[in-house]
Amino acid sequence: MQSLEISSGEGRTFPAYLASPEAGEGCGVLVVSWPTASRRQLCDVAEVYRRAGFLVLVADVFASSTHDGRGLRAEFDRDSIESILDFSVQDVTTGFEMLSGLPAVTGTCGIVGYCLGGQLACRAATIVPSDATVAFYPAGIDRHLGIAENLQTPVLFHYAEADMRISHLAITATRYAFARHHYAWFRRYRGVSHGFCWEGHPGFDLRAATKAHECTLNFLRTHLLS
């Protein structure tokens, strides 16, 4: 897996990882990180999509550094979280544009995001021409439900039934907002909590993670390869 440093707006940079399938080329998948992600976890997630034949770019936007060297994760718990996420949307769109412009990307591109990265994936998909978007337990998406009117891409949501970070009310509001979206699907997983797809996370559940990733791969194949 190739390590990259991508320049974004206003002097920011963020690390990224590029993983090519065995064929050396294919449709592109941009994976958007989550705040606590380690490099190993991101590489493990990238491998899921690489093995399925996709060319994968992992955008570790929560490791973004500003022009004065401050890391985004160091600023994350402050009151400026919403403005920080606004910058992160720009970083995701930058990553998507870079991925879609690679010669090895032979077809369409999609975005997959986890936790706050899922929120960013959906918001970015209203800006860039993503052909399929997947959001795993997208924290805070209920504060941006206006995007449902602008999101033209097919979108798949994965939620944990026992998620302590995302309320049932937030999930219901999101389903309602996307009710008129003809290509929005929702999946909920019984008995699991937030982070069930991240190996090494306290909420990791192998069975649910396998099921969710299989569902995601089928979704991506349908909308990127057809």
What would the pLDDT profile of 62-86 be if each residue is shown by its tens digit? 887 653 444 555 455 545 566 678 8
Contact present, 32 and 121 (Cβ < 8 Å): yes
What is the pLDDT at residue 68? 41
Distance CA 179, CA 177 (A): 6
Q: Which residues contact 109 (CB under 8 A, 6 or more apart)?
A: 27, 28, 29, 30, 96, 99, 100, 129, 130, 131, 224
Rounded to two decimals, what is the model's pTM? Answer: 0.92
Side-chain half-sphere of 218: how many Cα atoms within 13 Å? 7
Burial class (CB in 10 A: 0-12, 13-18, 19+), 165: middle
- The CA-CA-CA angle for residues 31, 35, 36, to 5°, reads 105
What is the pLDDT at residue 69? 41
| Residue 186: both structure tokens together | 């929702």
The CATH number covering residue 182 comes to 3.40.50.1820
Distance CA 113, CA 157 (A): 10
Distance CA 129, CA 17 (A): 21
| E strand map for 177-224 | 184-189
Contact present, 29 and 54 (Cβ < 8 Å): yes
Distance CA 179, CA 89 (A): 24
| Residue 32: both structure tokens together | 């958007």
What would the pLDDT profile of 28-44 be if each residue is shown by its tens digit? 999 999 888 888 889 99
Regions in the chain scoring below 50 on pLDDT: 67-70, 74, 78
**H/E segment holding residue 58:** strand 55-59
Per cent of the chain over pLDDT 70 is 91
What range defines the domain where residue 189 resides? 2-224
Nearest in space to 88 (alpha carbons), one of 127, 129, 60, 130: 60
Domains identified in the chain, total number = 1
